[in-house]
Amino acid sequence: MAVLAGAAGLVVTCGFVVPAAQAESDFATPNSLHVRKDLVIGHRGSSGYRPEHTLASYRLAARMGADYIEPDLVVTKDGVLVARHENEISETTDVAEHPEFADRKTTKTIDGQEITGWFTEDFTLAELKTLRAKERVPDIRQRNTIYDERYTIPTFAEVLKEAKRLSKELGRPIGVYPETKHPTYFRKIGLPIEPRLVAELKKAGLNHPNAKVIVQSFEVSNLKELDRQLRVPLVQLISSTGAPYDFVDSGDPRTYADLITPKGLREIASYADGIGPDKQLVIPWNPDGTLGEPTRLVRDAHRVGLKVHPYTFRAENSFLPADFRSSDNPAHYGRIHEELEVYFDAGVDGVFTDNPDIGVEVRDDEEN
């Protein structure tokens, strides 16, 4: 858990000097005199508009007003952190079209699931850099496919550098909200994510309570370990089903459902500063697919001092509750503004969204 001390005068954020009030932690206590905006987190950048986890996607998110950009992190064969949602890369790159890598296609068990494809840990960074990113869901986001094969896979260091550059360009600190992907798996193959993450943050001068950085994970033990090494806020991600894979791996019978009981939330508050739940844990969908009533999760989390940043808000009908869809066409935009309004009204402290421009508009409308 980060030290949440206030700051006076000027501080350096992302290597960029900004007024202290602007640069303070976004995890100030509820008693803080400062009124803070809820956060808009550019999920995988601005993945509603650009292929995810590319510098172009992060750049657009920041220019649209996102407070944070969100890189998911995996590791290369030579130990470099790169931004991908998973270590199997055929969904989001053109790797399958590279005959020189055809023999790298293989089947592995990742977090208990058998997966066939190409894996970042089997490629050096130099090899990965020869690939190009592509849209993950071309049927739903056809317009994004015009950007296919324009962008490379960025390293985490490049994402931090871009956030620093964008902070200067935009005159406000652009935060970075990295997620460790498959931490138990990468530790077991000798390529642990956490020491690399700590080293990169320290190298960039970002391991201090006022750094605009939040670290997130679906696993628990790595966050507890990071709590001893990092001075930035930590967020425990909570899936709507299953259990943290480190629990599964170690035989701990607890599930995500156990983590969001009052007792589970108290334990999270001992090492983390917030939770990132599936949005349906905040407001579930009814059996007919319409949006239901808020659960007690926001209230219970706030009671133990945890911020709540649900995921993932997306404009297409495919991802919206039935009563917020505009038509039967899964690719058409539905009433995401109204969905976001309901969640801000339910008291969340930030949102992960593929459409940061809409997140900012709704957040700012709510606060005006």
Q: Which residues bind ligand G3P (CB under 6 A)?
A: 43, 72, 85, 179, 216, 237, 276, 311-312, 352
CA distance 144 to 121: 27
Query: Tokens 């425990």 label which residue?
Result: 236
DSSP label at 48? T
Residue 45 to residues 9, 176, 247, 294, Cα–Cα distance (Å): 31, 10, 29, 28
Q: For Ca ion, which is the closer residue by CB, 18 or 82?
A: 82
Least Å distance between CB 179 and Ca ion? 4
Cβ-count burial 31-52 (b if 16+ within 10 Å, e if not): eeeeebebbbbbbbbbbbbbbb
281-300: contacts with Ca ion (CB under 5 A): none
Q: For Ca ion, which is the closer residue by CB, 278 or 323?
A: 278
Q: For Ca ion, which is the closer residue by CB, 72 or 349?
A: 72
Q: For Ca ion, which is the closer residue by CB, 23 or 83?
A: 83
Least Å distance between CB 311 and ligand G3P? 4
3-state SS assignment for residue 89: coil
Q: For Ca ion, which is the closer residue by CB, 107 or 241?
A: 241
Site string for Ca ion, 326-365 (x = CB under 5 A): ----------------------------------------
3-state SS assignment for residue 117: strand
Q: For ligand G3P, which is the closer residue by CB, 24 or 70?
A: 70
Using an 8 Å Cβ cutoff, are 73 and 180 in contact?
Answer: yes
CA distance 264 to 243: 13
CA distance 300 to 347: 11
Written as one letter, the residue type at 139 is: D
Q: Please provide residue 110's backbone torsions phi and psi, each rounded to the nearest 5 degrees.
A: -115, 120
Q: For Ca ion, which is the closer residue by CB, 91 or 149?
A: 91
69 binds, among ligand G3P, Ca ion, none (CB under 5 to 8 A by kind): none
276 binds, among ligand G3P, Ca ion, none (CB under 5 to 8 A by kind): ligand G3P
255 binds, among ligand G3P, Ca ion, none (CB under 5 to 8 A by kind): none
Q: For ligand G3P, which is the closer residue by CB, 56 or 237?
A: 237
Q: Shortest CA distance to 107 belongs to which of 120, 119, 99, 116?
A: 116
Q: DSSP per residue over 250-276, as a string?
A: HT----HHHHTSHHHHHHHTTT-SEEE
3-state SS assignment for residue 355: coil
Q: For ligand G3P, which is the closer residue by CB, 217 or 317?
A: 217
Least Å distance between CB 246 and Ca ion? 17
Using CB positions, name the residue nearest to ligand G3P.
Answer: 311
Number of residues that bind Ca ion (CB under 5 A): 2
Contact window for Ca ion (CB under 5 A) among 9-17, 66-74, 201-209, 300-308: 66-74
Sole binder of Ca ion in the list 24, 52, 67, 72 (CB under 5 A)? 72
The residues, any chain, with a CB within 8 Å of residue 241's CB and separated by 6 or more, are: 256
Site string for Ca ion, 245-264 (x = CB under 5 A): --------------------
352 binds, among Ca ion, ligand G3P, none (CB under 5 to 8 A by kind): ligand G3P
Question: What sign does the dihedral 24-27-31-33 (CA atoms) show?
Answer: positive
Least Å distance between CB 97 and ligand G3P? 25
Site string for Ca ion, 136-155 (x = CB under 5 A): --------------------
**For the chain, how many residues are written?**
368
Interaction between residue 219 and Ca ion (CB under 5 A): no
The contact set with Ca ion (CB under 5 A) reads: 72, 179
